[in-house]
Each structure stands twice: as structure tokens, then as C-alpha cells.
Chains A and B, each alone.
Chain A
Amino acid sequence: MGVVHGEEMVLNIGPQHPATHGVLRLQVRTDGEVVSQITPYMGYLHRCFEKHSENVTYEQVIPFTDRCDYLSSMSMNFGYVVAMERLMEIKVNDRVEHIRVVMAELQRIASHLLCTGVFGLDLGAFTPFLWALRDRERILDLFELTCGARLLYNYMWVGGLSHDIPVGFVESTFEFLDYFEPKVDELENILAHNKILVERSADIGVMPKDVAISYGVTGPNLRASGVKWDLRKNDPYSIYDRFEFDVPIGEGQKGTVGDCWDRFYVRIIEIRESVKIIRQALASMPKEGDVHQSLPKKIRPPKGSVYARTETPRGDLGYYIESDGSPIPYRVKMRSPAFTALSVLDEIGAGWLLSDVLAILGSLDIVLGEIDR
């Protein structure tokens, strides 16, 4: 006697599939609908970022960092310039730092909005996704106002910014935040507490603390597993030590700590925390200050290497830059957060149903541009 065992089936999810968030291919072994093994195949979006960087000057690397995590370009720029400034020992003025923080946090909101919306879309709720995109558009408007580009900014430069913020930017940002805060509540109400979504995500794809740490998972995914780890608090860079904000962690409110719902909900709380930071940064921003003040005439860092890490919306972003004294970097290595998040997929995704695997994948919030680089 026995239940019907479907024959083992190998499914290729992707590289063209609505739920893979890009050109990712998951080779999935299923028994009936139960997934027994997931093998991610990457490289469909490989652009030789690291090799490319060894052939262009230091300032020319910045547009390439934009394209790695195309959903949080500002944060990618930020990480690179932090690394470069450490290497060249440049101290930028407060105005620049404030603007950078505002930009990075706005970017975090935009990225998390997209992630939460797409998570809903993965689970079949279409409407919240469009609402999220609608609000993300407002943030992109602010970026366009600032630097003229909506997606790939090349805004932060080593030692400064490409432009100062325009007149009226602070006001319109405040206006946006006032508009935006109730929208987060709406998003949470329609999505986070919906019984169906809770059923679909709570207790699903649980990533225990130790698994998360041993796989090197960072960012909201790690925090959802209950680890209070945020580089903005734990290893403050820029001026994050000046602001008050909380680091939300997963509490297993609807299920187990570290399940899909926690990962999803941590991002919603982080949106609120980012709003807090932006309000503080805008309020304390110095009115005067030249954003080009410490811009070096020629970028030719001393011989040596640096590793700097920052907190992007997806986790710890690390840049390792080695300089041989020439204007062209000897080596640029990027430690990308979504890559580690994807690598944990087989560990936490095997044994669930096919639908759950896609929910888990959605909750990990990966961006293929950064994984493949």
C-alpha cells in the first residue's frame, strides 16, 4: 500500500518565467508537487563587472555599480564611494553626507516597496504590486529631479556628488513622506494581515538563525531570522550614528521566526524606519556646503587595498578595492548580498510545494543583476 508517488520530474523554472525576477533558471526536482531539490543556475545576466572595472578609471566604475543592483543603484554607488573615500582618506562635508543618507534611504524605501509588491504578486495579489509601484514612481521622480535619471543615477562621486540637490527638493521630499506614510499602512492592511497571505507565507521556508548565519545571509533576510544585525547600527558608516532608528527583527508573529512572512514584514517595518531617518536627515541637513568641495582633481589612490561594507536594501554590500597606484584599479571585488540569499534557497526551499518555493524565492528578494554582476 502506498500513496501515489508521482514520478520524479525535473522542472526548469526560468530563465523565462514570471516568478524568477529576472533571468534566473531554477532546476527543480519534484515529486508530484513537492520540491525535493532546487539548483539555481545563474549567469544569464553576467556582465563581467569585476573584470570590466580593471580596465576603466576609478570614476568610470561608478556607472557600472549602478547596474549591479538596478533596484537600489544609489546604495551601490554609496558603497563604492565609501570604499574609495576610505582608500584615499577623503573626508566629505556634512551636507554631502546628509544628502547621501537621504538618497540611500529613499532608495531603500523604493527597493522594499518593489520587493513587498512583487512578493504579493508572486502569491497572486496583483493590486498591491501596482500600488507599490505607484509610490515607487514618486521616489523615482525625486531622483530624477535630483540627478536627471530615474534608474541608473551615477549620482555619488568619490569625494562628493555629481550635483547638489535642487531648490525645493527638501520640501517635495517632506511632501512625499506625508503622502507616503498612510500608504504604507494601506499596504500592510491589504497584504500583511490578509489571512490568505499569512497562510501562504507563515511557517513557510523557515530560515533558522544558524542557517542564515552559516550561509552568510545578510540584510532583512538575516534580520527576519531574528538576528539584530544592521551595519548602520553595528558598524556605522557615513553619519548613520547620528540618527535614531530601530532595527526590526523577525518575531515569528504569525508563524515561526524566519519564515516568509517575517521576511516580508521586516521590510515593511524597515520602510517606516527609513522614513524616520529621512525626516531626521532632512531636518538636520546643513543649508550651505559645496558638494564638490572635496572632489579630487585626479583620482589616483595610493598603493594599497580597502574593504568597506555598507547596508543596502538587500544586505551587506562589500567592496574590496586594490590599488597599484595607477588611475585604474588593480582589482575590484564586490560581495553582493543577494548572491548569498539565493544560495540559501536550496537549503530552505527543498521539501516545500512548488508554490511555496516561489513564495520563498520572492521573499528572499533577489536581484539578478547583482547576483550575476
Chain B
Amino acid sequence: MIKYFSDIFTAVSTIAGGMFITLTHLVKAKKGIATLQYPEERWPRPERNIGFNSESYNVIRSRLHVDMDDCIGCLKCERACPVDCIKIETAKAPERGEDIKDVKHVGITTNGTRKAMVVTRFDIDMTECCYCNLCTYPCPEECIFMTGGPNGKKHPIDYEFSEPDRSDLIYRFAKPGTKEGMENILNEKSKVEA
């Protein structure tokens, strides 16, 4: 009998306590609200500072971007990728370090490396990408990176890269016409040699 009433008492008191807690949340609604009004408000990207000389160093994992002008076609990123979403094809440049105007190939990277290969295809399938960031580390020219990476000022952070067409998520970084241009050049060259 005592248990019966003490059970009723605990039930009433604990439920009343819980209701008091929820009531405080209701009353102090203005203070505690955690929601962001998405289209109007965006998620604040944390400004990351790891103490390097670059003032802000963002490691935000967003979509991949390749600076084609710097890519030397070393295939390190392709090998690092655990899911094989990067596909690179290269062609040997006629001359190391020379610009080839026809295919908009720049011969020297910003780091000053002379390029021996022309990248004819650099495709990243973002539907397969697992955002592990592994491809960015081996790159000797730091030309592949997640947007918002070290060159964050050039590339704004964005995570709204949904596309109506699935094939639009295959990013083709090789400059348009490179492949055909290189084929033409190589054909001409072989013809000349022949």
C-alpha cells in the first residue's frame, strides 16, 4: 500500500519536474534556439587557424577542385584515391615546359615546375567521392584540393552542389579540346616524323 502511494507520488513529482524543465525551455525560447533559417542563414564555416603563416587555413571538405594550370599529370592523386573516382589521362608534351596555345596548355606551374605531360583527361566523379581528403596530400603542386582549402580566397566555400542531372556531377577539369588538340598535334608530329 505504501508502495502504491509512493509510486503515485514519484510519478507525479518526476513528471511535474520534467514539465517544469520543458516549461523553462518554452519560456526562454529566445535564448536557447539552435535552429538556423537555412536559405537566409548559412552555416558559419569555422575559421581554422593551425598556426601556419597563411592567416586562415580552411580544411573544409567540400567538393574537389583541380587547378589545371598547375597539374603536372603525376597520377599521385589517382593512386591515393580509395574509391577510384579520379580518372586521369595524359599525353606526353612535345616539349617539356613549353606552352601549347592550341590546347591552352601552360608549360610551367606556379611553383616553377616544368610540365612534361599534357593532361588530356582529368575527371572526378563527385558521386563516388568519399571526401576523405586523401588525394590532396600527395599532390606535389598542391593543385588538387577541396574547395575552401589553402587557396580558399580563390574558391568560396560551397556545399550546395546538387545537380538535376547526375552526369553533371562528373567534373571534367581537363580544358575543353585538349584531348582532340593533343591528338591532332601528335598525329601531325608522327606524320612529320614519318
Contacts and interface: CB of A to CB of B under 8 A. Distances in A.
A194 B46 contact: no
B61 A149 contact: yes
Interface in A55-101: 56, 59-64, 66-67
B14 A147 contact: no
Contacts of A147: 59
A135 to B, nearest CB: 9
Q: Which 9 A-B pairs have the closest CB atoms?
A: A148-B59, A60-B82, A63-B132, A195-B11, A145-B46, A167-B49, A154-B132, A190-B18, A148-B61
B21 A186 contact: yes
5 contacts: A62-B132, A67-B130, A152-B130, A154-B132, A195-B11
B131 A127 contact: no
A189 interface: yes
B21 A196 contact: no
B30 to A, nearest CB: 15
A154 B134 contact: yes
B129 to A, nearest CB: 11
Contacts of A194: 14-15, 18
A60 B137 CA distance: 13
Contacts of B81: 60
Interface string A150-189: 0010100000001111111000000000000000001001
Contacts of B82: 56, 60-61, 63-64
Interface in A100-127: 127
Given A145-B46, A148-B146, A190-B21, A154 B51 contact: no
B130 A63 contact: yes
B50 A166 contact: yes
Contacts of B146: 148
B60 A148 contact: yes
Size band of the interface chain B makes with A = 20 to 34
Interface in B52-95: 58-61, 80-82
Nearest to B149: A148
Interface string B135-171: 0010000000010000000000000000000000000
A63 B85 CA distance: 14
B152 to A, nearest CB: 11
Interface in B6-26: 7, 10-11, 14-15, 17-18, 21-22, 25
A67 B22 CA distance: 35
B155 to A, nearest CB: 14
Q: Which of B11, B25, B80, B133 has the most CB of A within 10 A?
A: B133
A207 to B, nearest CB: 25
A59 B15 contact: no
Given A64-B82, A167-B51, A148 B58 contact: yes
B172 interface: no
B111 to A, nearest CB: 21
Nearest to B60: A148
Contact of B133 (A137, A145, A148, A164): A148
Interface in B106-134: 130-134
Q: Which of B15, B22, B48, B134 has the most CB of A within 10 A?
A: B48
A17 interface: no
B50 A195 contact: no
Contact of A189 (B21, B48, B132, B137): B21
